[in-house]
Chains A and B, each alone.
Chain A
Amino acid sequence: MTNPSESVIIVVVSRALARLIQLFGIYVIIHGHYSPGGGFQGGALLAAGVILLRMTEGYRESQTETSTAAAIPLASLGALIFAGTGLVTLAFGGYYMDYGAVPVPGVEEPIVRYYGILLVEFGIGLAVMTALVAIFDDMLGQAPGGDGEHAPAESTGAPPKI
């Protein structure tokens, strides 16, 4: 799982498939206002795309996706977007997470709530996606950064040393 797949077909097909899965994940997040879905489901789909590439392209090559070092900071950012939206409404004198309290000129309160929900869903999606990727990477047991000393031998098929 840490080494690239030996079959070219698997690598090429999974690259195309991962983009489709992630596109559908973004759709699920954005379309959560009108259909079943939302941040949790969309974030899980986005993470599924990254994890598919981790399994087929190998750990090293798929670092150009969400890299292991960036996963936990991005998860913090997602949770911070959620909590920060609530703090912004506090600053305008409303209750915590009361999006309608933010005065936007020319926009009525329900529309402000609409976009507040959308922002919160983006935060949820980012946090869930990167947290799942971080958990998967930690389960793999690879060294972050991947210098040559601790990295497993490439394409020998040997299991990584734990």
Chain B
Amino acid sequence: MRSISILTAAAVFALGGFATASAEEPTKILNASYDVSRELFVAVDKAFVEKYAKDTGKTVTIDQSHAGSSKQARSILEGLDADVVTFNQTTDVQVLADKGFVAADWQAKFPNHASPYYSLPVFLVRAGNPKNIKDWDDLVRDDVKLVFPNPKTSGNARYTYLAAMAYAKEKFGNDDAKVEAFMKKFLSNVPVFDTGGRAATTTFVEREVGDVLITFETETMGIRKEFGDDKFQTVTPSVSLLADFPVAVVDKVADKRGSRQLATDYLNFLYTPEGQTILAENGNRVRNEAVAAKFADSFPKVRLVTVDEVFGSWADVTKKQFGSDGVLDRLLAGT
């Protein structure tokens, strides 16, 4: 075993030097993002690099890292030197804020609670909508099978779960017993829970399981683009849950590397008309009104509620609904 430790030390010292911080301002930053945002950020990064070169004459590089956003938050805590994060879950940025990697008031650092774009859970059905799915009510019918990942492990599915519950709360006027019965039926219509969003997509699209896939609107547009508009169609329910896609500068890394200015410029680019257009082209709803109006045809009108309005806060929801022995555990145990 001694030879291993000596060799390990040798490897560490031989290779350790190559990531040391440089004194001058870096021309490269790393964006740690969520799993299914790759095509989006290929387009965003290309446009940003071109614009930055035109405005400042400097050539910069944006590196990308993609994984589930909870895994990314964990990796950053363990030393992944990401200058910025672009996540699909507020709670994952909050983890970084709690550990002092991101400013406590990160949501005040950029417009719209630091969320340049947003999405919502919608339904994807097979061509012609054979089961005639229109709203959340149709998803608790006996003849309808649903596909979405496990809310325990997937942020995507947590939005789906909470959107359904928000609908039930409105419908039954907060009658808890009826809401729970609705949710129980909703969950029991899912034949198999995958662990993540893309896995659920594969189950629905390639294994052809289920009648309805519930996932973010942006993912349904990606699927239709990839597999054909003639195979699937999107159904937007009457009401759904706002899913913010938060961004933040990772202060700890930006301060160490001196990359704060470039990191901030990069995130601000997402709010420019050019950045918002790229976001909208990739199936995300955007805040800029002029750009939103241009893409109005792609995004049907829908009433959106927020987690804070319906459930108090993400911290409450996480503990009460998804924690051990929470509501979700109880409902699943009964199905």
Asked if chains A and B come from one complex, the reply is no
Interface residues, chain B, CB within 8 Å of chain A? none
Interface residues, chain A, CB within 8 Å of chain B? none
